[in-house]
Amino acid sequence: MRLYSCLLFCCLFSLPIFAQKKNDAYQLHIRRATSPVKIDGIVDEPAWAASDTATNFYMILPMDTSYAKVRTDVQMTYDDKNIYLLVVNYNGAPGPYMVESLRRDFAFLKNDNFLLFMDPFDDQTNGFSFGANAAGAQWDGLMYDGGKVDLSWENKWSSVVKNYPDKWIFEAAIPFKSIRYKKGITQWGINFGRNDLKTTEKSSWAPVPRQFPSASLAYTGVLVWDVPPPDPGVNVSVIPYLLGGVNKNYENEKDAAFRGDAGLDAKIGITSSLNLDLTVNPDFSQVDVDKQVTNLDRFELFFPERRQFFLENGDQFTNFGYSTIRPFFSRRIGLGVPIHFGARLSGKLNKDWRLGVMNMQTGKQTSTALPAQNFTVAALQRRVFARSNVGFIFINKESLNYNPDKALPGQPVYNRYNRNYGLEYNLASANNFWTGKAMVLKSNTPGRSGKDWVHAANLQYTSRVWNISWQHEYVGNNYNAEVGYVPRKGYIKLNPQITRLFFPKKGALLSHGPQLSTTNFFDEKMKRTDNEVLLSYGMVFRQRNTFTLWSSTSYIKLLQPFDPVNIGKDSLAAGTRHSWNTIGADYVSKPQSLFTYALSTRYGGYYADGKRFTFTGELGYRFQPYVSLALSANYNDIRLPQPWGNQAFWLVGPRVDVTMTNTLFFTGFMQYNEQMKNVNLNTRLQWRYRPASDLFIVYTDNYLPEPYYVKNRALVLKLVYWLNL
């Protein structure tokens, strides 16, 4: 392991030294507007006649070796308050445009759309994205890790889409106060992306290789300002909310409980690139509930954070580590207890340094004797070489006015504190072909010492035809991340993977090729406990439908007793060994159709010489752009010896989305989980009565399906208002 680590660190640090930006030759000059600009989708202002045009886009898909066949023209200008964007998206083929709905933050590949990718620091790592689909639904998000977009971010900006027989025009005004940038910088990284489903063409202004997303900041062109962008001035936003609701618990046979509440968020621009977020008594009742899954796993399942306060600009915290080694996982904060207040300072100190500091205070939970707790997270990131960075994180969870030695008999005992320290190096070469990460973590908990650290590293090479990666992990048995997500401890993991792609010049297939990976787990004495070898063959068609065949062989030595159907019937003994083979297939239909579907199936062995058959399907139909219907279903048929016998579980989730306008949305969905014996109904009406200000009406029900019985139900009305001072 030490030899592997040394070799990997040498590779990670040596690769990007000779980096330089690829698309410096692609420049768009932006000048101050010569006249007022009205956001109406009509090109009649003198300011647009006087501005430069970015055109001659390059094709990314289906091929990246020629100009795009679908024409797109982009112009930009500005005044003291806003950046203005005008995009003329010409028709690529006759027929109606293809969109999912009018809901904001749509799925990129399922809509005719245009997106702007903006890197105000020109560091090729962080930035902002704005855009719209052909029906006028908005898209906005924070960019991080050189090409990922966090769509949870929202801010105040305005746009209009207007359709014409031969084109659709997107016009937008983005306030300088809505973004972060460094004063005095006159060159920003910028690129524009277009997705045209009728021709199945994806394109960008500055060329991007097809193995990378069009959002890749490694391939931005340059936005050249005639003078430095203006100072946005005082930048303070206050976002209060009022809430009223009622809920009734039928299982406890109690009277309905009424609630009224109020809270406040504030956003304060410390500098043009550093922001302070404050929250007092936050409420997240309007957030979508988690999508349920049939749980057949030995370890804790991961459900992503959905609360906006923790998501906005939080990538420094949440992306530290790996998917199963997260020292910070914000869902641990406010779990079953109220959050009294919180603060987060985040943003850029300059082009090379990035800072994130957060503090949250929760209240007591009397029923579980959980004390009031304080959570502090601090992250500092330094850019090195072209696009790589070194990051540090510190996490502290402190129980206030609490002594574990004085816990009453029968009460849970909590640690007085838990701390984590981490250092990681993130590699991103200038051309994005080489990416990777190497990290070390250390925990500090009273009564725990030794084997309380983590080391992990990975390196990935991505070319047009090859994708080769290596990842290894070590998690000590005493490592403790109480504000993190680390479902497995006391192991060493080795995971190599290789993919080869072929690109036919003709025919229905766009690309196809095999992938081989193996995942190996060992205990801390390097004795094997788990092994899976997976071989798959994937096919991507020119209409963007996909088909994958796969087979795997698995071996597991149980380290703890485990119930293979997770219904509490019985458990397999620790130390028992199990092996089986599995085959499977996955198909996703082309996104251009009004009726779309995805099918997945697997069949093979299971624990205790059993058999498992799984079928998953997702069906969707849209009456664009106003109504979208969807149905997801998962069926598991498990055949085991006694005492489990034959077990079958359905998980069904119908959903309806109605977007009456691009400011009025209704969502209703149900989840029937046979394994958990629960039916959940959730409906939400959202009215965006002004930019970034909303009225929510949320109704939820939970039922016991057999016999049919109401467990609890709730109704909440919440009003949010965004005020710029």
The pLDDT tens digits for 654-680 are 999 999 988 999 999 999 998 888 899
- Kindly indicate the confidence band of residue 392, based on its pLDDT and cuts at 50, 70 and 90: very high
DSSP letters, 333-368, are TTSSS-EEEEEEEEEESSSSEEEEEEEEEE--BGGG
pLDDT at 294 (0 to 100): 83
What the chain holds in terms of domains, given with CATH numbers, is 16-225 (2.60.40.1190)
Given the DSSP bridges, would you call strands 27-32 and 221-225 parallel, antiparallel or unpaired?
parallel
Instruction: Tell me which residue has tokens 């085991």.
Output: 640
pLDDT at 378 (0 to 100): 97
- Kindly indicate the confidence band of residue 4, based on its pLDDT and cuts at 50, 70 and 90: very low
Instruction: Tell me which residue has tokens 């959730």.
Output: 682
Instruction: Tell me which residue has tokens 């409906």.
Output: 683
Average pLDDT over residues 601-611: 96
> What is the Cα–Cα distance from 454 to 439, expressed in whole angstroms?
8
Q: Select, from the ranges 88-102, 268-282, 579-593, 665-679, the one with the highest average predicted confidence (pLDDT).
A: 579-593
pLDDT at 155 (0 to 100): 82
Q: What percent of the chain has pLDDT over 90?
A: 70
pLDDT at 498 (0 to 100): 98
Torsion sign, CA atoms 42, 174, 134, 654: negative
427-439 pLDDT, tens per residue?
999 899 999 999 9
pLDDT of residue 7 exceeding 60, the answer is no
Average pLDDT over residues 115-134: 93
pLDDT at 1 (0 to 100): 47
Q: What is the mean pLDDT of the chain?
A: 91
Average pLDDT over residues 437-445: 97
pLDDT of residue 346 exceeding 80, the answer is yes
| 335 CB-near residues (< 8 Å, 6+ apart) | none
Average pLDDT over residues 223-242: 90
Average pLDDT over residues 186-195: 96
* Closest among 152, 28, 127 to 86, alpha carbons compared: 28
Q: What percent of the chain has pLDDT over 70?
A: 97
Which of these ranges, 7-11, 496-500, 697-701, has the smallest mean pLDDT? 7-11
> What is the Cα–Cα distance from 283 to 341, expressed in whole angstroms?
11
Q: Please state, in angstroms and as integers, the Cα–Cα distance from residue 438 to each residue in 383, 459, 594, following that order.
A: 15, 9, 44
pLDDT at 21 (0 to 100): 64
> What is the Cα–Cα distance from 199 to 192, expressed in whole angstroms?
18
pLDDT at 252 (0 to 100): 81
Burial of 409 (0-12, 13-18, 19+ CB in 10 A): exposed
pLDDT at 3 (0 to 100): 41
pLDDT at 17 (0 to 100): 45
pLDDT of residue 119 exceeding 80, the answer is yes
479-519 pLDDT, tens per residue?
999 999 999 999 999 999 999 999 998 899 999 999 999 99
> What is the Cα–Cα distance from 12 to 424, expressed in whole angstroms?
11
pLDDT higher for 6 or 515? 515
11-54 pLDDT, tens per residue?
444 454 444 567 889 999 999 999 999 999 999 999 999 999 99
pLDDT higher for 652 or 308? 652
pLDDT higher for 96 or 436? 436
Average pLDDT over residues 693-707: 90
Average pLDDT over residues 558-579: 92
Cis omega before residue 691 (within 30°)?
A: no
pLDDT at 156 (0 to 100): 86
357-381 pLDDT, tens per residue?
999 999 998 878 889 999 999 999 9
**Contact by Cβ (8 Å): 658, 650:** no
DSSP 8-state symbol, 201? E
159-178 pLDDT, tens per residue?
999 999 999 999 999 999 88
Q: Please state, in angstroms and as integers, the Cα–Cα distance from residue 300 to each residue in 295, 297, 488, 685, following that order.
A: 9, 7, 9, 32
